[in-house]
Chains A and B, each alone.
Chain A
Amino acid sequence: DTEVTQTPKHLVMGMTNKKSLKCEQHMGHRAMYWYKQKAKKPPELMFVYSYEKLSINESVPSRFSPECPNSSLLNLHLHALQPEDSALYLCASSQVDNVETQYFGPGTRLLVL
């Protein structure tokens, strides 16, 4: 079962709102990823958690705050976002091994007004 789930599927928020994106996987993967993807562009890596510890932060603005409560869950807390943050946010997970194939969720389409 190569399923990664993400909620919500769509999110509209104002610039003063606080919201959270949620990602869950039950494949026993120990690495989880957040990506941001603009239309017709490849995904851009934001954060990587390995064994529930933050291992990569790609200089993401502090208005994005990741959290990994356990090995199956990954959250992305959003606060004071800008309209340019509107994008598709993808979560992925992988084994921590030589191949590290990343399996992605369906994404959350975020619109910041």
Chain B
Amino acid sequence: AQKITQTQPGMFVQEKEAVTLDCTYDTSDQSYGLFWYKQPSSGEMIFLIYQGSYDEQNATEGRYSLNFQKARKSANLVISASQLGDSAMYFCAMREPAQRAGNNRKLIWGLGTSLAVNP
């Protein structure tokens, strides 16, 4: 069964430093997609970055990059130059494979990592 594991319930980082949030996944499928979302205390779930299993390059989006290691089944999020506004819960998620779920595939979520950026 598909599963997402985020082993860091809480993380602290100093402002302007880089931080890596861990995400490992378990799937027997060859085609899958991985997402990272940010959820501040206000509640909105903000899409950050996407990595497809066949993408040859690691995804990047501004200060966010995804360290995708397919053989290790890891998709860690790297936030460079942390800002106070980065303090939030971060969720890693994997989309169900198409051949199994058909249309409107569900997202399988990790338990999240709470990041606190210290000034």
Asked if B119 CB lies within 8 Å of chain A CBs, one says no
A42 touches B104 (CB 8 A): no
- The verdict on A56 contacting B104 (CB below 8 Å), with A99-B33, A101-B35 known, is yes
Which residues of B sit under 8 angstroms from A42, Cβ to Cβ? 91, 93, 109-112
Of A13-21, A62-70, A74-82, A103-111, the one with at least 4 CB within 8 A of chain B: A103-111
A-B contact list, 22 entries, CB within 8 Å: A40-B89, A41-B112, A42-B93, A42-B111, A43-B45, A45-B107, A48-B104, A48-B106, A88-B43, A90-B43, A90-B45, A98-B98, A99-B33, A99-B50, A99-B52, A100-B95, A101-B50, A102-B107, A103-B47, A104-B44, A104-B47, A109-B43
CB of B99 within 8 A of chain A? no
Closest A-chain residue to B102, C-beta based?
Answer: A55
Q: A42-B111, A96-B104, A99-B33 given as contacts; is B46 within 8 A of A104 (CB)?
A: yes
A-side contacts of B50, CB under 8 Å: 99, 101
Chain A residues at the B interface, C-beta cutoff of 8 Å: 2, 31, 40-43, 45, 48, 50, 55-56, 88, 90, 92, 96, 98-107, 109
Chain B residues proximal to chain A, CB less than 8 Å: 33, 35, 37, 42-47, 50, 52, 89, 91, 93, 95, 98, 103-107, 109-112
Chain B residues near A103 (CB-CB < 8 A): 47
How near does chain B come to A36, taking the closest CB pair, in angstroms? 12
**Are B44 and A31 in touch, CB under 8 angstroms?**
no
